[in-house]
Amino acid sequence: MSASRIVVLASSIAAAAAASLCCIAPVVAALLGLTSFASALALEPWRPYLLGLTGILLAAVFLLHRRIGHSSRLVLVITTLSVLGLAAFPFYSGQILHAVSAATDPQKTKQQSLSRVEFHIEGMTCESCASGLQASLGRAPGVTKAIVDYTNKKATISFDPSEQDLQGLSKLITGSGYTLKKLNN
């Protein structure tokens, strides 16, 4: 396989990964026990362009491999499946993140004088955003339960006011790259 073919193959995978980085980063953060990666959200507006670049690069791969042997055909199939899996990651990342955060989040059962707050959150672009934010909020000190609903752009948080306050929760959400539009409690 020539060097140009390898470069195009690698570039198509890299472009697909970059296009889905805004959804991959919260999964990585949950696996590492970190809060969400707000910097990954900066790539979200570029997603359509990166997906277009991915398509162009994948088409170039097919053009470069018109007459190929069996082993090169296998590499092409593996590359194509990898690119498609990365490009579609935002559609199934929420389920992965829910499974990861459920497995890594400790259950907090303290039930004394809890406060409950509801935030309206702007800036979430996929289910992975909501799942990542929910995992981050669930790990915050004093938070006993956090539910982030992507469809309604809403976070409902139960917390112990002796350990956590509204300002701290607001700071965690805005520090993750989202905007609070309203607050109900």
* Confidence check: pLDDT of 71 > 90: no
Q: Are 102 and 69 in contact (CB under 8 A)?
A: no
Closest CA to 89 of 77, 101, 97, 99: 97
Closest CA to 150 of 93, 112, 73, 83: 93
Write down the pLDDT at residue 8.
80
pLDDT (mean) for 121-135? 84
pLDDT (mean) for 141-157? 92
DSSP-derived letter for residue 34 is: -
pLDDT category at 86 given cuts 50, 70, 90 is confident
- Torsion, Cα 64 69 73 79, to 10 degrees, reads -60
Write down the pLDDT at residue 41.
67
- CATH 3.30.70.100 placement within the chain: 101-184
pLDDT digits (tens, 9 = 90+) for 21-60: 777 776 676 666 665 555 666 677 788 888 888 888 888 8
SS3 content of the chain, % helix, strand, coil (to 5): 60, 15, 25
Mean of all residue pLDDT scores within the chain: 79
pLDDT (mean) for 139-143? 90
| pLDDT greater at residue 65 or residue 50 | 50
Q: Which CATH class is domain 101-184?
A: alpha beta
- pTM for the full model? 0.63
Write down the pLDDT at residue 153.
92
Write down the pLDDT at residue 119.
93
3-state DSSP assignment of residue 119: strand
- Phi, psi (5° rounding) for residue 152? -95, 0
pLDDT digits (tens, 9 = 90+) for 105-127: 555 545 568 899 999 999 888 88
Write down the pLDDT at residue 93.
74
